[in-house]
């Protein structure tokens, strides 16, 4: 069973993602702010992280940077799911090591779930060729 860490502070989206991921057969943990991410990572290393960028306490860019600098977590695929949709923000996230980037308003949850499925079935497809720039 794959484990997914959902880092999101919008309750509705957390519930929708969690319900969909569990129905796909994954276990899910949730962090609702940028500091809680690291508490969750220490409890259980996920197979994939869904990361919002606009978070309380520590923003997603800083979280992503720390994850990529950690020998323990740097290879975990990170898929950004954010309201930030400017090219500069997308480019920054990809340069910091995000594997993929979805703008919330442009992609239905099912599309995000399908992308998660692709990463988890491919287990470890974390090279730059797998990134989808928008």
- Tell me the H-state helices in the chain: 11-23, 36-43, 60-69, 87-95, 109-122
Inside any domain, residue 131: no
Inside any domain, residue 130: no
- Paired strand residues for 7: 31, 51
Residue with tokens 């720390």: 66
Inside any domain, residue 128: no
Range of the domain at 29: 3-123
Could you list the mean pLDDT of each consecutive 10-residue stretch along the chain, which spans 134 residues?
96 96 96 97 97 96 97 96 95 97 94 93 51 35
- Paired strand residues for 51: 7, 80
Residue 62: other Cβ atoms inside 10 A = 15
Inside any domain, residue 60: yes
Handedness of CA 121, 18, 70, 128 (dihedral sign): positive
Q: What is the pLDDT of residue 66?
A: 97
Inside any domain, residue 59: yes
Domain tally, the chain: 1
- Paired strand residues for 48: 4
CATH number, residue 79: 3.40.50.2300
The token pair at 1 is: 């069973």
Q: What is the pLDDT of residue 1?
A: 85
- Paired strand residues for 29: 5
């Amino acid at each position: 069973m794959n484990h997914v860490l959902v880092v999101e502070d919008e309750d509705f989206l957390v519930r929708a993602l969690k319900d969909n991921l569990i129905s796909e057969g994954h276990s899910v943990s949730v962090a609702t702010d940028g500091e809680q991410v690291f508490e969750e990572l220490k409890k259980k290393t996920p197979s994939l992280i869904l990361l919002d960028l606009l978070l309380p306490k520590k923003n997603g860019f800083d979280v992503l940077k720390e994850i990529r600098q950690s020998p323990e977590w740097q290879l975990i695929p990170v898929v950004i799911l954010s309201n930030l949709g400017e090219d500069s923000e997308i480019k920054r996230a990809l340069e910091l090591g995000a594997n993929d980037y979805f703008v919330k308003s442009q992609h239905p949850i099912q599309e995000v779930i399908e992308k998660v499925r692709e990463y988890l079935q491919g287990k470890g497809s974390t090279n730059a060729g797998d990134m989808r720039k928008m």
